[in-house]
Structure 1
Amino acid sequence: MCVSEEDYGIQDEFENGEEQTKKNDSVRVEKFTANVENFLEILVEEEGKKEVDEGEDEDELIDSDYEPSDDEIVVDKGKSPNNVTQKIKKTDKDIMSLILSVTWRIQCSRLVKTLNNTHTCGRVFKNKNVTAKWLAEKFEKKWKTDPYWSRASFAQEVRDTTVGDVSLSIYYRARKLALKKIYGSLKEQYSLLWDYCEELKTSNPGTTVFMQCNSEKGYPEFERLYVCLAACKLGFLAGCRPLVGLDGCHIKGHHQGQLLAAVGIDGNNSFFPVAYAVVESENKDSWNWFLGFLKDDLNIQDNSRIFWMSDKQKGLIEAIKICFEGSAHRFCVRHLYNHFKKEFKGLVLKQVVWRAARATTIHRFEAEMEKLKGLNVDAYKWLDAKDPKTWTRSHFQPNPICDMLLNNMCESFNSAILEARDKPILTLLETIRRYIMVRLVMKKESISKWNHDIAPRIFKILENNKSHALQCIPEYCGDGKFEVRCYFGDRYCVDLNTKTCSCRRWQLTGIPCSHGISCMEDRDINPELLVHECYNKTTYLKIYGYVVNPLNDPEAWRKTSLDPPRAPPFRTLPGRPKKLRTMEPGEVEVPGGRTVKMRRVQEVKTCSICGKQNHNKKGCPKREQQPPIESKSITTIKKKKENKKDKMRRDIGIKVLDKHTGTSKEKREGNEKEKNKENVI
């Protein structure tokens, strides 16, 4: 294809001598580049028309990875077919070559003289310029909004935007560089801990922050950090019930450790964070250190007025006995049953154990234990050895006004801060603080949506008790006392003046039971008026009436004169690092809704040869002593198979025909019987 000068407006600016040529060289190149781009646009539109004019010899070709020298000019991508990089090369004879791929080439000298419009190479996705450093800078904002950006999504994004493939190592290196720039290095975060503690105390007066370092190596090394925000401390003392759940969870970051937490319960049966701490490990010493600060913050003078619930963490039982001698300690029934079912399995045993835990009276508890004894004596002995004050409602004290059997408040808090547990130390602490700050405000604003003077969850429980009250028949005895008979034969005593019932549900929860509600309806009393004050709107406002004040940027923090602590040594544990905890046989899902394969629970093996347990017949030592089994002939096996098929056909109603005669087998068998009778006669 030939194109004239008039078509593209290329003017000769190189006829006035060498000096004029040097001055206008840059102008000439810019105009030529623009004209070549216009030509390429027309070329793409007329891709079907390929006319090639023979011209001067071709110059040396340049591949796609070629870097332009000083006498070359690079044209933007996208103007040529297949989106290949364009380069314009100047020659001594004022000839410019535009090279697009291995064979595609255009050669010009004022006019287009040579064009080879044949492409032999495809798109190349191996780009050496797509490095981890470059990717970290380009996708920094994306990683800031989504630190858990998956490798597959990242690779697809890079392939679509930068035309390059990304290996697994480049992905991890780029992610590490990006997160380091976002959160800062581990060394920087540990060096700011003293300043962070001072800023937290200054911005939130009354907050308790204590950091412990180990100086045995000649420099301060981080060991523990305790935080109790003033809003959490005052809110718990203002209206929360005196029941505190204790739990610990693993920190999943570069430096391992444990996160200890103390969680209360508010008037809507939701968890209320009280204090948290980062320690090196979960043991008796760390729990004793944590509970010592917690006792001072909550101003606990009488140990009998505080109640604890836990999952039997390492060293926690001994630490509570030391710091809070005489206080009641409850255990999570779910964890208790998980240990129970390791030795005693079965749905019937499970139902009996949970009925015994939910029993609110001693005589019902003893009845369930007798049922368990009749089912399995060993299971009864195992459960009877546990103190009933720690796991069954029948022996709970009514003081905390809570009948919870599970430590769900701590589990909910650990699930809420799950994303923070794999962050560096300072980011972890700040994520938890911001979560508590936002949660307190959201809970306070949610009160405007209440339709009643009591909390929504408590109102649902009350409505459920009202439906069961229809099965109760109260008889007034005077002085606010009633005798209540149920349709199933049970009888209870209710006293409206003392807000008690012989079933003990009212005393344990502070919510009128179905027997008490039937008595209130008999006297035209609104049950909401006799609900405990800890569930009221005014008490709820007292709990969430405090706020966590915001913090300034780290650059504005007041610098302390203390030596910055160093990160604790990294301990390499055997095996692959775990991100998820070990699942129990009864669990189906992990946090986030992702299903997992349940672990197989092996039953006790019993050998079919010797009758002993813990091995099967394959590994039995008496297997060699057994006589060899006589092999059956092939014809016998075939006959059995044919007889089995024939029986199945007869059951369906299909006649079975003989292979040789074609008659039914029933008819043939009948004929044989008649012949045998004749022979006998």
Structure 2
Amino acid sequence: MTQVMAGKKVIAICQSGGEFETDEDGSMSYKGGVAHAMEIDEQMKFKDFKKEVAEMFNSNIGTISLKYFIPGNKKTLITISNEKDIKRMIKFQGDSYTADIYVVTEEVVAAHVPNVPARRGRNRSNRTTLPEAMVPVDDPVNVVDDVMDDTTEAVVLDATPHVNPHTIITTHIPVPVHSIGSNNAIIGSQEWQDTITGVGQRFRSVHEFREALRTYAIANQFTLMYKKNENERVTAKCKAEGCPWRIHASRLATTQLFCIKKMNATHTCDGVIVPTGLQATRNWVASIIKEKLKVNPDYNPKDIVNDIKQECGIQIKYYQAWRWKEIAKEQLQGSYKKAYNQLPFYCEKIMETNPGSLATFTTKEDSSFHRLFVSFHACLYGFQRGCRPLLFLGSTPLKSRYQGKLLAATAADGNDGFFPVAFAIVDAETDDNWRWFLLQLKAAFSTAQSLTFVADREKGLKDSIVDVFRDVDVQHGYCLRFLSEQLIRDLKGQFSEEVKRLMVEDFYAAAYAPRPVGFQRCVESIKSISLEAYNWVMQSEPVHWANAFFQGARYNHMTSDFGDEFYSWASEAHDLPITLMVDAIRGKFMELIYTRRADSNQWRSRLTPSMEEKLEKENQKVCSLRVVISTGNRFEVRGDSSEVVDLDHWDCSCKGWQLTGLPCCHAIAVMNCLDRSPYEYCSRYFTTDSYRLTYSESINPVPTVDSPVRKESTKSVVTVTPPSTRRPPGRPPAKPLGPQDPPRRKRLPKCSRCKVTGHKKSTCKEFLSEC
């Protein structure tokens, strides 16, 4: 069955009558058969879908099943048994528009088969037991509950009847069912029942054999008892007294392979003595979860509880599912503890594979992790060659097992996109850690250049930036977002939310005002609302945040939360061990550089697209301006206001040219009169050539860190243990709050008496005229 996504509809091409062929590598392919097409959607009920398929092929609805392969895995067939499975199947396809699914006929074999002797009891090895009276039902899995009770006997066939090679025989054993917390258990999948096939079957290790044996016992609903359980040999039997089922396996000489030497696959017991759930250890359940996590990384504990109950007949608690999922994740991703100890080797590999990069870490006195700094050569080179000398400092919390903070320095490329420069993982956001981060950042730069930082003034940044970069022309622009939040927190008066919003708007207007006159006008507006707020604004050092007084060049970027996308990358990788977290971020860097480099190769404009658009907007304002010709290079431009343009110094009295790096409309008007190109007066950082320089270097892959640390390494003797901070109890928030998240705005009450926002009727003091 091939599916093609067509809006909300799905075209299903159902194939039946073919057969599966197995290749040498174990993968399967489907050959032959006939096909029919139908249209379905995700809202269709599974029973309706199955009924229509059965009518297509003139089959009994109780004797067919729908199966498909997960992309990339042609060895295991997945069964569709409900609406949720249909949605999962579509989700698993990702961006693919097709999904091959197969209609398999499950032929029910009657109890009275010619030339086949029958006897009472059970044969669990071939799973061909049948009830004496079989009633077709929609869900073959639950046939035990529908037609049998705990005392019904079953007929066992000693030989497998002849069937069509295109048909898979699936029968069900009506047995007394036991499960934890449930009256009904669902028998395990055919794949689990066939994990043990018989004498001669080999396994890679004794551990693999034990896990297969455990899965086999759970799927076939009996309890194991080990007679011998050693690394060299394992002997087990059915725990039911008198039951002859028995298996013996041992290690092949000079290898780690384990081979089944003897097996009696016959069961004569009448039922399960010990609940199956007691055999399902947490490691066994974790191994089941691990396989599902490979396919669906978002597999959540609620689905785990439902799937374990459905597939194994075992009822587990939510907290158990959460804990076992953590075990499965550790089996897939590696140990958190081991990842910290691999940091020395990993840092060396980063600098070895990416010459010019800086990757370093520090530990505390007890060898526990303290902080890690990483900056790749491609990022350092791109920033210094193509980006504006402007750095945004920010941080975001990590939700990993050991918490911590991610500190980052990002830049703005020529197209106003964020560009990662460096990042650090630290145990906490402290003054000392920020100072250490800045020291490593300075050490990573190959040449000294003037810099402008946009960052919070708290956490020691105000002093650290000046102190660390004291031999460089550096400016520190305060982040307006942090300042405005602090302003509201420090106000002691009782102000409504609407008044606070107006003060914040005036504060931002004062910051963006290009000239002192405009700045003073805005702060006077704040003063009319609150003298306390006015005094706070004037004492907050406007020289560090107001355009009218700021000495650096921050190109009208007023807040430090520029790298939203970077912080989202960290959020996606927060629950990985530290080395895998860094590697996931590195992979994002590689993808970003490659994608933007490929995009820029298609550009034919002199400036980047966003700057071309801004320049065009300024050009559209020129028609309403008039230029007064002068003998020198200073010109007067008249419009709504009269401005002076100095072409030699790239200056306009409106300050728009200096603040943005692009000619303002007044400057463009003068250039048009002199028949000069505005492109000649644009900052070089906005050109396509500079943009391509930013993304000209590549980040090379870093090998896995499973290899042991080399003895000759200078850091080989360093042992790094996890930090002392641990994740607090309780469920973590769905999304870590980064610096990009604005504060939530509360809805203001509205008075029903005077219709004014900001108070309620019970506190209304407005005087209303009776007329």
- CA–CA distance in 2 between the matches of 1:423 and 1:98? 49
Equivalent position amino acid for 2:705 in 1: P
CA shift for structure 1 position 331: 0.9
Cα separation, 2, equivalents of 1:524 and 1:249: 50
Which residue among 425, 445, 470 is the counterpart of 1:278?
425
Q: Does 1:64 align with 2:212?
A: no
1:420 aligns with 2:573: yes
1:513 to 648, 660, 664: 664
- Are 1:199 and 1:557, in contact at CA under 8 Å, matched by a contact in 2? no
TM-superposed deviation, 1:268: 1.1
| Residue 617 (structure 2) aligns with | 464
Matched, 1:403 2:556: yes
- TM-aligned CA distance change 1:101 to 1:30, over 3 Å: closer
SS of equivalent residue, structure 1 residue 341: helix
CA RMSD of aligned residues (A): 4.5
Residue 300 of structure 1 and its aligned partner are, at CA, apart by: 5.3
The equivalent position to 2:339 in structure 1, one of 165, 168, 189, is: 189
Q: 1:473 to 1:351 in 2, by over 3 A?
A: farther
CA pair 44-551 structure 1, distance change in 2 beyond 3 A? closer
Q: Distance in 1 between matches of 2:399 and 2:392?
A: 22
Partner of 2:348: 198
Q: Counterpart of 1:554?
A: 705
Deviation digits for residues 646-672 of structure 1 (CA, Å, limit 9, x no counterpart): xxxxxxxxxxxxxxxxxxxxxxxxxxx
Q: Could you tell me which amino acid in structure 2 is paired with residue 140 of structure 1?
A: K
Displacement of 1:228 after TM fit?
A: 1.7
Structure-1 separation of matches of 2:579 and 2:128: 58
Amino acid at match of 1:430: D
Over 3 Å counting, the alpha-carbon distance change for 1:7 and 1:377 in structure 2 is closer
Q: Answer yes or no: is 1:498 the counterpart of 2:635.
A: no
Q: 1:146 to 1:503 in 2, by over 3 A?
A: farther
Matches within 5 A, 1:379-394: 379-394=533-548
Deviation at 1:39, TM superposition (A): 6.4
- How far did residue 547 of structure 1 move? 0.7
Q: CA deviation at 1:211?
A: 2.0
| Per-residue deviation, 1:195 | 1.2
Alignment correspondent of 1:136:
286
Q: TM-score, normalised by structure 1?
A: 0.67
Question: Structure 1 residues 520 and 571, CA, compared in 2 at 3 Å: closer, same or farther?
Answer: same
Amino acid at match of 1:191: N
| 2:636 alignment partner, SS class | strand
Cα deviation for residue 30 of structure 1 reads 7.6
SS of the equivalent of 1:275 reads strand
Which residue of structure 1 lines up, in the alignment, with residue 629 of structure 2?
476
SS of the residue corresponding to residue 559 of structure 1 reads coil
Q: Within 5 Å, give how 1:576-587 maps onto structure 2.
A: 578-579=732-733, 587=742
Q: CA deviation at 1:519?
A: 2.9
Change (3 A) 1:269 1:583: closer
Corresponding residue for residue 696 of structure 2: 545
Amino acid at match of 1:232: C
Q: Residue 294 of structure 1 corresponds to which residue in structure 2?
A: 441
Secondary structure of the structure 2 residue equivalent to 1:248: strand
Counterpart in the other structure of 2:597: 444
State the alpha-carbon separation in 2 of the partners of residues 266 and 173 from structure 1.
43
Give the one of 315, 320, 340 matched to 2:460.
315
2-structure distance, mates of 1:341, 1:44: 67
Note the C-alpha offset of 1:377: 2.1
Indicate the larger mover: 410-419 or 422-431.
Answer: 410-419
Mapping of 1:47-58 within 5 angstroms? none
Identity %: 25
Distance in 2 (CA, whole Å) between partners of 1:200 and 1:238 is 22
Q: Which runs of 5+ in 1 are unaligned?
A: 13-24, 67-73, 103-124, 589-596, 603-615, 618-681
In structure 2, the CA distance between the partners of 1:288 and 1:423, relative to structure 1 (3 Å rule), is same
Offset at residue 299 of structure 1 (A): 3.9
- Is the CA contact (8 Å cut-off) linking 1:193 and 1:565 kept in structure 2? no
Q: 1:213 to 1:308 in 2, by over 3 A?
A: same
Q: Distance in 2 between matches of 1:484 and 1:440?
A: 42
Task: Using the TM superposition, give the Cα deviation of residue 126 of structure 1 relative to its aligned residue in structure 2, in angstroms.
Answer: 9.1
Q: Map of 1:631-670 to 2, 5 A cutoff?
A: none
Within 5 A, what are the aligned runs for 1:345-384?
A: 345-384=499-538
Q: Quote the Cα distance in structure 1 between the aligned partners of 2:349 and 2:588.
A: 18
Distance across 1 between alignment mates of 2:678 and 2:311: 65
* 1:85–1:100 Cα contact (<8 Å) kept: no
Tell me, in whole angstroms, the C-alpha distance in 2 between the residues paired with 1:500 and 1:254: 53
1:152 and 2:305 are equivalent in the alignment = no
Equivalent position SS for 1:226: strand
2:124–2:267: 8 Å Cα contact kept in structure 1? Answer: no
Opposite residue 194 of structure 1, the aligned amino acid is P
User: 1:150: Cα distance to partner?
Assistant: 2.6
The structure that is helix-richer by fraction is 1
Q: CA 1:267 to 1:191, structure 2 compared with 1: closer, same or farther past 3 Å?
A: same
Give 1:417 shift. 1.9
Which residue of 255, 263, 282 corresponds with 2:402? 255
1:8 aligns with 2:135: no
Q: Is the 8 A contact 1:222 1:565 kept in 2?
A: no
CA–CA separation in structure 1 for the residues paired with 2:408 and 2:486: 23
Distance 1:571 1:148 in 2: 26
Q: Separation in 1 of the partners of 2:190 and 2:566?
A: 53
Q: CA deviation at 1:175?
A: 0.7
**Residues 31 and 171 (structure 1 numbering): CA distance in 2 closer, same or farther, change over 3 Å?**
closer
Equivalent position to 2:362, from 191, 196, 212 = 212
Task: Name the aligned partner's letter for residue 466 of structure 2.
Answer: K
Describe the shift of the 1:273–1:11 C-alpha distance in structure 2 as closer, same or farther (beyond 3 A).
closer
Cα distance in 2 for partners of 1:75, 1:357 equals: 67
Cα gap change, 1:77 to 1:246, in 2 (>3 Å): closer
Q: 1:266–1:540: 8 Å Cα contact kept in structure 2? A: yes
Conservation of the 8 A alpha-carbon contact between 1:362 and 1:394 = yes
Q: 1:569 to 1:228 in 2, by over 3 A?
A: closer
Given residue 554 of structure 1, which amino acid in structure 2 is its aligned partner?
V
* 1:253-311 per-position Cα deviation (integer Å, ceiling 9, x unaligned): 12232222222221111222111222232222222222122112214546xx2111112
Contact 2:370 2:723 in 1 (8 A): no
Shift of 1:557: 6.4
Q: Which among 343, 368, 379 is matched to residue 232 of structure 1?
A: 379
Moved more, 308-317 or 474-483: 474-483
Q: Deviations over 1:31-53 (max 9, x none)?
A: 998885496668879x9xx9xxx
- Can you list the C-alpha shifts for 1:420-458, whole angstroms capped at 9, x where unaligned? 233222122212222212211112111034352211221
1:97-176 alignment, distance < 5 Å: 132-144=282-294, 146-176=296-326
SS across alignment from 1:9: coil
Q: Which residue, out of 323, 327, 340, partners 1:177?
A: 327
Name the CA distance, whole Å, in 2 between partners of 1:329 and 1:500.
23
Report the more deviating stretch, 263-272 or 563-572: 563-572
Q: Cα–Cα, structure 1 residues 450 and 100, in superposed 2: closer, same or farther, change >3 Å?
A: farther
1:535 Cα shift?
0.8
- Match of residue 69 from structure 2: none
Q: Secondary structure at the match of 2:720?
A: coil
Distance in 2 (CA, whole Å) between partners of 1:467 and 1:475 is 19
Structure 1 counterpart of 2:679, one-letter code: E
The one-letter code matched in structure 1 to 2:115 is: G
Partner Cα distance (2:305, 2:562) in 1:
40
Partner Cα distance (1:64, 1:402) in 2: 72
TM-score by length of 2: 0.60
Q: Residues 340 and 721 of structure 2 are in contact (CA less than 8 Å); yes or no, is this contact kept in structure 1?
A: yes
Structure 1 residues 361 and 141: CA distance shift in structure 2, 3 A = farther
Query: Per-residue displacement from partner, 1:462-497 (whole Å, max 9, x unpaired)?
Result: 2222333344333332444431122x3x11012334
Q: Report the 3-state secondary structure (helix = DSSP H, G, I; strand = E; otherwise coil) of the residue aligned with 2:699.
A: coil
Q: How far apart are the structure 2 equivalents of 1:255 and 1:574?
A: 9
Aligned partner of 1:533 in structure 2 is 684
More strand by share: 2
Question: Structure 2: how far apart are the matches of 1:145 and 1:260?
Answer: 32
8 Å Cα contact 1:76/1:86 also seen in 2: no
**Aligned-partner Cα distance in 1 for 2:708–2:618:** 54
Instruction: Indicate the larger mover: 181-190 or 578-587.
Output: 578-587
* Structure 1 residues 516 and 584: CA distance shift in structure 2, 3 A: closer
The letter for the 2-side match of 1:541 is R
Aligned to 2:356, the other structure's residue is in SS state coil
